[in-house]
Structure 1
Amino acid sequence: MEIRASTVLPARRRPITLHTADGLALVGELALPQDNDPVATIIFLHPLPTAEGMMDSHVIRKASYRLPALADIAVLRFNTRGTTSRHGTSEGEFGDGEAERYDVAAAIEFTEFEDLPEPWLVGWSFGTELALKWGHDPTVQGAILLSPPLHRATDADLDAWAEFGRPLVALVPEYDDYLRPDEARKRFARVPHAEVIGVPNARHLWVGEPYVRIVLNEIVKRVAPQAYPLPTEWDGPYEKDTLL
């Protein structure tokens, strides 16, 4: 069977609640490999909630549906403060990327509490700002940025990541609405070890299965390289995504 946009592969999934240092409860989900221990963990930070970004945004959802089975990766996704998805609504109000520092910290602390291995941050759009601003935790192995706008994240945040020294990969669509590959390479030059990958013909929202596969493969290449490249076929049991 070809893996399609609606394919849901087997995993151990459970709802979780993240508790922030400022007293909020955040709605989330943890997806683990069905039969194996995870080899690595990704913490997904979703796009702008005031523009319908949430833990069920399509790339995040598809990562949760595929990567535990295909790459033995644990996928942690959650709604930042004040954000609603079909999983529920997280407490609090949108903090414009500042108060969300507590949300990022709560997610990282959860991976420590659960003994989840090798946590990476994967941010998309607004989520990339959160990763750059608040992801400098000693347990974080690196960050992968999807469509980084570099709007709230400043040169000072890039300098801080350069000092942090952990891997930083930016996937930048050729036709992004906010930051395109040539300008991204100039901005990210402040982080000498950063890797900027321009993705031909892609747009900010990564709509279309070919672009989703590019994103997931680039994540796996860094986080669980033994599983790269991801297969496009699946012979075992599967379900269908009811969101589609």
Structure 2
Amino acid sequence: MEEIRSSTVLPAVRQDIELHTADGLTLVGELALPPEGRPAATLICLHPLPTAEGMMDSHVLRKAAYRLPALAGLAVLRFNTRGTTSDRGTSEGSFEDGEGERYDVAAALEYAEFHDLPNCWLLGWSFGTELALKWGHDPLVRGAILLSPPLKRAGDADLAAWAEFGRPLVALVPEFDDYLRPPEARERFAAVPQAEVVGVDGAKHLWVGEPYVRIVLDEIVRRVNPAAHPLPTKV
């Protein structure tokens, strides 16, 4: 057996996909499916801020797609929001500061529904957490996992709306985050009775370092497919 490293890519059925928004844009993405069998659940990934180099290949999301189909039986859908570029290509349109992106979130959920992807969870990171909180109130969504939520564009009204939505909400908050640290996060998310805030000692906003990536992926799997938790560290 070999230890899983930052560069490890495990088997999956990987498909380049396109999403089509209600306002007429084509977005590029990838769907990674388990190498065998039907997925236990689906992660719809919402990436960090594209004006700060966020994209579908931002490292935690990429590593989720590289590992979780094989290790946890998950489908991982990643895509570039409007105007965002990665190796997969550039999505049409231009950055709209989290407003026009509501159509991007809807297009991803529509794709998941049309392709019968089960148990859909939103996985947002930084800017992506704001898209999840603002635009993720869809019957298809089983819950959301937020990595480094800044709670800037998404505010108290969005938290109240998620409280009413009633679906699980898990916020993974780095001890040394640049925008929102665990004590304040617990105060803010108290507005959502079903929310859970998990402070991660030593972590920073970008989750750099394999130990922190493992914590994030383990916490994701604990929620969306508990039978596969804890994840192995060797394959």
TM over 0.5: yes
Query: CA offset at residue 36 of structure 1?
Result: 1.5
Structure 1 position 35, deviation (Å): 1.2
**1:193 CA drift (Å):** 1.1
Percent identical residues: 78
Q: Does 1:51 align with 2:32?
A: no
For 2:143, the equivalent position in structure 1 comes to 142
- Paired residue secondary structure (1:133): helix
Which residue identity is paired with 2:193?
A: P
The answer to whether 1:28 aligns with 2:29 is yes
Structure 2 residue aligned with 1:104? 105
**What pairs up with 1:215-234 in 2 under 5 angstroms?**
215-234=216-235
Q: What is the RMSD computed on CA atoms of the aligned residues?
A: 0.3
Tell me by how many angstroms 1:69 deviates. 0.1
Aligned pairs for 1:127-206 within 5 A: 127-206=128-207
**Structure-2 residue corresponding to 1:114:** 115
Q: 1:116-174 CA distances to partner (integer Å, 9 max, x unpaired)?
A: 00000000000000000000000100000000000000100000000000000000000
C-alpha displacement of 1:38: 0.4
Q: Helix, strand or coil: the match of 1:131?
A: helix
Can you list the C-alpha shifts for 1:3-25, whole angstroms capped at 9, x where unaligned?
00000000000100000000000
TM-score by length of 1: 0.96
Q: For 1:105-125, what per-residue CA distance to the aligned partner results, in whole angstroms no more than 9, with x for missing partners?
A: 000010000000000000000
Q: State how far apart, in whole Å, the 2-side matches of 1:7 and 1:46 are.
A: 21
Measure the CA separation in 2 of the matches of 1:133 and 1:181: 21
1:211 is aligned to 212
Please, which runs of 5 or more residues in structure 2 have no aligned partner?
A: none
2: CA distance, partners of 1:23 / 1:98: 15
Corresponding pairs, count: 234
Q: Give the structure 2 partner of residue 4 of structure 1.
A: 5
Name segments (4+ residues, structure 1) moved above 4 Å. Answer: none
